[in-house]
Chain A
């Protein structure tokens, strides 16, 4: 089994999917000779040529809009948005066009396409290189939204995205790009389906739920809790639209206490939805209210780059609150 980090997981998956299926093309800014600013498409240009690895003009509207037209015509485009923060230039294409193509044509036209974008803070990038825009997309009917946190999930979910029949917003945890390495199974058809969470750790005292880059801090918090004798169940949602309600409710109902960790701003963040569903459906099993530990409702700050993130200290404070309730 090859060992790889998350960027390598992206590159290798794109390469093998392009090898497998001629209709898969890659487009975006600097994705060609440069291999992308994070090198996520490194080597693809040399291997597949300029017709399938397309350096586009600097326009997210053109990238996402063109990807839609390509997909409607039969290609399976994988568009790269250089930073998730830039997707808003193409927001209308995603929201008005891509998301609604299947619906407004009653399935006569479809958009099997992927829009990849590195997201999240902790890289000293200020408010235009650090945001987590997943709520905008999860709030838009017609889009699937996934945000893996491991190389293995990145491979399996990117395959599912490329081979699926609906558009996917594929968020990549950029501060973990090279921070996490693991063995990834060789099987070229191993898919990680959307809508299934992964239970990373099992314990009976508290359930920690997170996704994307915040999984790293959540795992560290779980380690620290274990040292204090507090055993946590850790759930990686991986997929936000759709999300795995069954797994979440099963474990939260069993344990009765949960902390929901996301680095996106709190108000109407994805964890607000998870908390609402927990409250609506299993209130009588709860020993404490669901508690969100999230980024602040401020623009992403530059100077307080790390402090903005819900780190282990804030997660532990949250756990203490639900234990003390």
Chain B
């Protein structure tokens, strides 16, 4: 079943890396993406970073009760969104995947609506913040229990295989998820079925405070794929071009009927696990600083500048434009207002059963 990627070797310990620290192209093949796409990737990186910073601020301002920061994860998240066909392929993301959401095209006002729990959220503010979804873009609604979305992603993949329309399902999660039984059950089922599912582990080395060495008995996450009959790849998850080339390959491989793959993207989250976490209790500031030097944004910007596709003026214009869009979206989402109390009783079932009708009447007193 395994058809090896043409460009990348599965199960190699060294993560795929295509862009050097100074923005130099390291690939053994020609960089053949259009200038337009190269610039778009950077725009998406910047938007995702600014969005995350805005969401963190929103929580500090008391306008949102919670946030799970995504800064540091942008490159792999943007690559996921660019590797799929929006609205045709499916995504089963986890709660940190805001870079996937913004790049895929989930309207910013919906993202802010979800974070603030207002009427701007198409999901009627049913979930706590940092649980993205989009029906229009086939982005399944994220859940909190770790890895609980991975078996459903495989079920969707099996359904796609039966439908035969060439759809692919991408599911993403942190490295902590790979300790859950559900994750292994899902990987195994996908392997047995040869389902068109790409599993992406955003390995940021910490599941809240527990470091990788205490999480995984294997040296890499990617090698776990071997046990399930699928290729496993390691990629520098902070190198957007490495992520995009690899994701495109595994997604198209799945689309062509060659089955699932696991991608381990090595990243680092610059923020704490969430607004309820203090990361200084378990990781040294020097470590965070060291990973800051590998920030996916400046590294990729250097590549664009070397190719004369970007400059300070473009940077300034982009940031002004993105900040304005974010401000507008935040204001619009807030202005949409609170969801009514009575909505609490809707959508439990297609039709409201008698006992919920009674409870609503009692609550409205």
Contacts and interface: CB of A to CB of B under 8 A. Distances in A.
A68 B155 contact: yes
Contacts, number: 148
Contact of B355 (A54, A144, A242): A242
A97 B148 contact: yes
B350 A110 contact: yes
A260 B123 CA distance: 40
B151 A73 contact: no
Contact of A72 (B152, B162, B182, B349): B152
Interface string B140-174: 11011100111111111111101100000100000
Nearest to B153: A69
Contact of B348 (A69, A92, A142, A164): A142
Contacts of A61: 151, 181-182, 185-186
B152 A66 contact: yes
B126 A96 contact: no
Contact of B162 (A57, A59, A75, A164): A75
B349 A106 contact: no
A96 B122 contact: no
A262 interface: no
A221 B127 CA distance: 49
B29 interface: no
B148 A73 contact: no
B87 to A, nearest CB: 14
A100 B143 CA distance: 10
Contacts of A62: 151, 154, 182, 185-186, 188-189
B151 A65 contact: yes
Given A61-B181, A102-B347, A107-B347, A70 B156 contact: yes
B31 interface: no
Nearest to B124: A106
B188 A69 contact: no
A62 to B, nearest CB: 4
B156 to A, nearest CB: 4
Q: Is the interface of A mostly helix, strand, loop or mixed?
A: mixed
Contacts of B189: 56-57, 59, 62, 66
Given A64-B151, A96-B143, A109-B141, A70 B159 contact: yes
A97 B158 CA distance: 18
From A57, A70, A106, residue with most partner B Cβ within 10 Å: A106
A14 B355 CA distance: 30
A68 B151 contact: yes
A71 B159 CA distance: 8
Contact of B354 (A101, A144, A245): A245
Interface string B239-252: 00000000000000
A69 B157 contact: yes
Interface residues of B, number: 46
Interface string A205-232: 0000000000000000000000000000
Contacts of B70: none
Interface string B326-365: 0000000000000000000011111001110000000000
B22 to A, nearest CB: 43
Nearest to A141: B348
Contacts of B157: 69
B177 to A, nearest CB: 13
A241 B158 CA distance: 30
Interface string A186-215: 000000000100000000000000000000
B133 A142 contact: no
Contacts of A309: none
A248 B218 CA distance: 58
From B126, B154, B156, B349, residue with most partner A Cβ within 10 Å: B349
B123 A242 contact: no
B90 interface: yes
A73 B160 contact: yes
Contacts of A97: 143, 148-149, 152
A165 B350 contact: yes
Interface of A: 25, 51-52, 54, 56-57, 59, 61-62, 64-75, 77, 89, 92-93, 96-97, 100-110, 141-142, 144, 164-166, 195, 241-242, 245
Given A62-B151, A106-B126, 18 more contacts: A61-B151, A62-B182, A62-B185, A65-B150, A66-B154, A67-B155, A69-B151, A69-B154, A69-B155, A69-B169, A71-B155, A73-B163, A74-B163, A102-B350, A104-B126, A104-B131, A108-B133, A166-B349
23 contacts: A54-B158, A59-B185, A61-B185, A62-B154, A62-B186, A64-B151, A68-B152, A69-B154, A70-B158, A70-B159, A73-B90, A75-B162, A97-B149, A102-B350, A104-B123, A104-B126, A105-B126, A106-B126, A109-B140, A142-B349, A166-B350, A195-B353, A241-B353
4 nearest CB pairs, A to B: A65-B151, A69-B155, A66-B155, A69-B152
